[in-house]
A and B are shown apart, each in its own frame.
Chain A
C-alpha cells in the first residue's frame, strides 16, 4: 500500500473531508464513502426483493409445488428480472465505480451533488418500475417485446433509472479526471480501476442503446407512435440487455482481482496481459446483441456469425485470459506466501474460511464452467437452435449473473462492510458458510435449468404438464426431475441470499465498530507489509503448475462440450 498518500491536497472544493483507513492506509473521502454506502444498501434491498420473487418463480416452476397461479407467476417473473438483473446489479456497480475511482485512487468524488441526483433518479425509477409491475398491467417480462405493450409507467421507470445510472457513470469519469489533476496517484491507474473503466465505457454504450429503444417504445405506449418494429426492437434492446451483462463481467472480473489482492496479496502476473484482456471487452463485447437473434428470421448468416462470435471470439479470449491470470496471480502470491508444496497447496491452504475469498473463487470457477462455456455454445450460430428460448438460456445466465456476478458482489460486500461502513461482520461462523450455501444453490439452479433445457422445457412457462392445452405435449420424466431439483437448489440459494442480507444489514447496524484505534478485522486482510513485494506478479515464480492444471481441465471440458453439441445438432431434422 504505497504511493497513494502523497497527493496534493489543494482541493478546490472547500469542505472535502478525508479519513485514513486503519487497515489499508487508504485515504477515503467522506462523500465518496457515503455514496458507496447508500448505493450498496439500495442494491442489497433490491436483491432482497428480486431474490424473493426469484424463489417464488422457482417454486412455481417446480411441477410438484406450482406455488403461484399463472397470472401471478408471470407478474412475479417480470419483477424478478427487473429487480435483480437491473436494480441490484446496477446499484452495486455504481458503488463499485465510486470505490474503484475515489477509494482506490485516494481521490475526492467529482460532483457529489450530481452523484446524489443520479442516486435519487435510480431509486425513483426502481420504485416506479416495481409499482408498474405489481399494479398488474405490465406483465410483459423483463424483455417487453412488442407488440405486447406494458403501461407507459413501466418504460418511463426504466428510462428514469437509466438516466440516473448514466449520471453515476459520468461522476466516475469525472473522478478519474479529478484524481489525475490532483495527482492522487503515481503512474498508470491500478488494474482494478482499469477494469472499472472498461465497465463504465460499456455502460455508456449500454445505457445509450437502452435510451434509443425505450424512448420510442414509451412514446408508442402513450400513443404518439403507431408501431415498433419487432426485429429492430430486439436488436437494439439487446444492445442494452446483453451488453449490460458485459458491464457485470468487467465489474466482477475487477472484483476478482481486487479481492485476490486484498485477501492473499495477489498481483497481476503481468499488467500488460490483464489490461489487454479488458481492452478486448471494450472492443468486442457489445456485439453480443446477436446472441439473441440467432433463431430469428430476416438476418443474414454473415451478420450472425461475425457478431455472435464477438468478432472471431476475441472477447471470449479476453475472458479466457482472465480465467488464467486470476488463479495464476493467486497461485503466484500464495507460493510467495510460503505455500509451495505440490501442485495445489496454494489452493488448499487458501483462506477458505474468509467469505470474501471463498465467494470470489467459486464465482471464478462457476462463471467459467457454468456460465462461460455454455454462453459460447448458445452463441454459436447453428447450435443456438437447439436451446433457443428453452430454460437452458436462464440456466446459462444464472451461471454468469448469479453464480458469477452476484456471488462476486456478495464476496466484495464482506470487505465493503468493514472497510467502508467501518463495522465488522457479525456472526462470523454463519458468514463463513454463506458463500457455500448461496454458491451451491446458484450452481444447482444453473445446472438443472440447463439440464431441463436440453430436454426442451420452455422458459417463462407456467405449466410444464400443459394441462389446459388443446394438444398437450408430454415432456420426458427427466424434465420434471430437473425442474424439481431446480426448485430445491433455489431454496438453498434463497437461504444463502437471506443469510447474506441478514448478515449485511445486522453488521451495518449492530456490527462491532472498527473506527477505534487497534481494532482488528474478523476476516483479516493480507498482511503484505512484512514481505518483500515483488515488482510484478510472475516475478520469481517460474512455475504455476496448479493454474496450468485448472485451465487444462477447463479447456478440455470446453472442447468436449462444444463437439457434443454439434453431435446433437447433426441428429436433428434437416433444415436450411
Chain B
C-alpha cells in the first residue's frame, strides 16, 4: 500500500512492469518531439514571436507614437483628417514602422494596413500593463510600460480587426479597445 513503507526493503530492485516501461518510453519520446518541434517551428513556421525589445521611458514612446500619427495621418478627399470616434486613422507606407500605444483605456491610434505587406510593429504602454488581443485573429501579446516590443507583422486578410485588452488595467479595462483596418 502506498500508505505503508514498501514491503520489500529493496524496492528499487523490483522489476518494472512492461506497461510502465513502454509508457515511460512513449512519454519521454513524445516530450522530446514536442521540445524539438518548438525549435523546428522557428525554421519552418511563420508565427514566431520576435524578441526585439528596447527599454525606454513610457513618455518617450508616447512621443514617438504621436510623431508617427502626425506624419502618416490619413486624409479624406477634402483634405480633412480621417477619424473614427475621435481617434485618428493612420495609413503608414507598406514595409515601414508602425506604432501602437496602449493606455488607459484605449489602443491608439487606428491603423490602416495593406494586406500581405510587412510592417515593423512597435508596441508599448504609456501607463500600466495591457494585453494586446487582436480579434478575431486571436493574436495575444503582453504589453509593458517601459519596454518597446518590435515585431514584423504581416496581415494576411482584409477587413476590420478589433483590439481588446486582456490584461486587467483598472476599472475601465473592459472599455479599452482599438482597431486595425486591413485593405487590399
Chain A residues close to B by CB (< 8 Å): 1-4, 70-71, 74, 104, 139-141, 145, 147-148, 185-192, 230-231, 257-258, 260-262, 265-274, 293-301, 305, 309, 312-314, 316-317, 320-321, 324-325, 328-329, 376, 380-382, 385-390, 454-456, 458-463, 466, 468-476, 528, 533, 535-536, 538, 544, 547-548, 551, 555, 558-559, 562, 566, 569-570, 572-576
Contacts and interface: CB of A to CB of B under 8 A. Distances in A.
A484 B47 CA distance: 32
10 contacts: A269-B19, A297-B51, A321-B27, A325-B20, A387-B140, A390-B140, A460-B166, A471-B110, A473-B163, A576-B47
A74 B171 contact: yes
Contacts of B47: 382, 385, 569-570, 572, 574-576
A389 B166 contact: yes
A257 B4 CA distance: 11
Interface string B156-175: 11000011111111110111
B31 A231 contact: no
A328 B20 contact: yes
B41 to A, nearest CB: 5
B126 to A, nearest CB: 11
A327 to B, nearest CB: 11
A302 to B, nearest CB: 9
Contact of B14 (A4, A294, A380, A536): A536
A470 B175 contact: yes
Given A3-B5, A148-B170, A271-B11, A574 B175 contact: no
B166 A271 contact: no
B26 A313 contact: no
A381 B27 contact: no
A291 to B, nearest CB: 13
B24 interface: yes
A466 B151 contact: no
A35 B177 CA distance: 51
Given A230-B144, A314-B31, A570-B47, A471 B2 contact: no
Contacts of B165: 458
B51 A321 contact: no
A260 B3 CA distance: 10
B4 A1 contact: yes
A551 B19 CA distance: 10
B141 interface: yes
Nearest to B110: A471
Given A271-B12, A575-B139, A313 B17 contact: no
Contacts of B78: none
Which secondary structure dominates chain B's binding surface? mixed
A463 B154 CA distance: 30
What 3 A-B pairs have minimum CB-CB distances, sorted nearest first?
A473-B162, A313-B31, A458-B166
Given A141-B168, A471-B87, A575-B48, 19 more contacts: A147-B145, A148-B128, A258-B2, A265-B1, A269-B19, A293-B142, A297-B142, A297-B143, A309-B35, A381-B38, A382-B47, A456-B136, A461-B164, A471-B84, A551-B23, A555-B26, A570-B45, A575-B153, A576-B46
A460 B142 contact: no
Contacts of A257: 2
Contact of B16 (A185, A273, A389): A273
Interface of B: 1-9, 11-12, 14-17, 19-20, 23-24, 26-28, 30-32, 34-35, 37-39, 41-42, 45-51, 53, 84-87, 106, 110, 118, 121, 123, 127-129, 131, 133-149, 151-157, 162-171, 173-179
Nearest to B177: A469
A469 B176 contact: yes
A305 B174 contact: no
B145 A230 contact: yes
Of the listed residues B27, B87, B179, the one surrounded by the most CB atoms of chain A closer than 10 A to its CB is B27
Nearest to A319: B27
A188 B90 CA distance: 70
Given A321-B27, A472-B177, A388 B142 contact: yes
A104 B148 CA distance: 54
A573 B19 contact: no
Contact of B140 (A230, A380, A385): A385
Of the listed residues B51, B137, B154, B157, the one surrounded by the most CB atoms of chain A closer than 10 A to its CB is B51
Contacts of B152: 574-576
Of the listed residues A2, A381, A548, the one surrounded by the most CB atoms of chain B closer than 10 A to its CB is A381
A321 B24 contact: yes
A230 B2 contact: no
Of the listed residues A186, A258, A301, the one surrounded by the most CB atoms of chain B closer than 10 A to its CB is A301
A136 to B, nearest CB: 11
A194 to B, nearest CB: 9
A562 B166 contact: no
Contacts of A559: 30
Contacts of A265: 1
Contacts of A299: 51
A267 B11 CA distance: 13
Given A74-B171, A456-B135, A312 B31 contact: yes
B167 to A, nearest CB: 6
Contacts of A538: 17, 20
B175 A260 contact: no
A240 to B, nearest CB: 18
A309 B2 contact: no
Contacts of B140: 295, 385-390
